[in-house]
Structure 1
């Protein structure tokens, strides 16, 4: 009887711990998305994986974010106020906890200079490659592109994050490259990246 009580207690504790973890992950995911949506670059840094920020340097990372959202050529804006997230399984590998989060994340690129048909084709191809999607539509009246893409965050929870969920934005080439250099191939494979 005592053994059964311990088993039930252990199961209840593990369920509570898991539900707290997923709830904290959902809250952190909303915060980093909202920071991207409102272009709050300091908050994006705060919610990003600390080793990535250290490798890239906070100043350069902030400059890159600003350039990604607005530069001499275009302004990029996220279109969804409240996206629907799909959470993959939470996996603990060598003391590091990971979760891949996917969501529809349409963006619009407003170009500063009027694009002709040839230039718009070149820009469309650039955006297809940059955003890893085939669904790019040029809207001549708005001089903009509507890009429908599936975005991914990889959430990481470990000692370097002070046991808080921190993120890699896999839409960003630099963040993808840093993720690939920080973690071994077998970890990336288990994570599902």
Structure 2
């Protein structure tokens, strides 16, 4: 009887884990897709709730728009779909986390024509903020092609209504806010 109970418990646990992984994969695909489409209101709804609470919903939307388009440049994700790498889902202090990475080529179109000198400065800046060495200037398009690894962290906790919500570490403010919300130990345990 104990073996039967153990087997049933294992089957229910595997089923729950499969549903969790499946919902995570679908949510991640949706989160990336709305970033690609620059559907900022949906990005906000899929983002971890405390991100918008910190600055206010309107300011959060303004920051998202400014990340993709501002007086200096326009940022566009180049691929509509990308393959994601999922870490093991970890439960830390009653909260579930998954670190998701993907190769994510982006293009920065600059509004003002760049000279050789300013293009070199912008290339250095883009390498630094994107943590990559793969930055190529295309003078005819006045743009840079940036190949980088993007990192998202999916979270389920008491504030997310049992749905996966995301931090986008391409935005430095969200990287910093993650530590404020969950602490250095959680960040370290997740390998961030």
Tell me what 2:26 maps to.
27
Tell me what 1:51 maps to.
50
Shift of 1:113: 1.5
TM-score (norm 2): 0.98
Residues in 2 aligned to 1:92 and 1:65: alpha-carbon distance in whole angstroms: 29
Work out the number of aligned pairs and report it.
192
Residues in 2 aligned to 1:61 and 1:51: alpha-carbon distance in whole angstroms: 11
Residues in 1 aligned to 2:55 and 2:128: alpha-carbon distance in whole angstroms: 23
Residues in 1 aligned to 2:184 and 2:172: alpha-carbon distance in whole angstroms: 18
Tell me what 1:140 maps to.
139
1:15 aligns with 2:14: yes
Report the 3-state secondary structure (helix = DSSP H, G, I; strand = E; otherwise coil) of the residue aligned with 1:129. helix
TM-score (norm 1): 0.97
Report the 3-state secondary structure (helix = DSSP H, G, I; strand = E; otherwise coil) of the residue aligned with 1:141. helix
Residues in 2 aligned to 1:55 and 1:166: alpha-carbon distance in whole angstroms: 15
Residues in 2 aligned to 1:187 and 1:66: alpha-carbon distance in whole angstroms: 29
Shift of 1:62: 0.6
1:73 aligns with 2:72: yes
Residues in 2 aligned to 1:85 and 1:74: alpha-carbon distance in whole angstroms: 27
Counterpart mapping for 1:1-193 below 5 A: 2-193=1-192
Report the 3-state secondary structure (helix = DSSP H, G, I; strand = E; otherwise coil) of the residue aligned with 2:140. coil
Shift of 1:191: 1.6
- Please list every run of 5 or more consecutive structure 1 residues that lacks an aligned counterpart in the other structure: none
Deviation string 1:50-100 (CA, Å, 9 cap, x unpaired) is: 012111211111111111111111111001111000000100011100000
Deviation string 1:114-138 (CA, Å, 9 cap, x unpaired) is: 1110000011111111111111000
Q: Which runs of 4+ in 1 moved over 6 A?
A: none
Report the 3-state secondary structure (helix = DSSP H, G, I; strand = E; otherwise coil) of the residue aligned with 1:118. helix
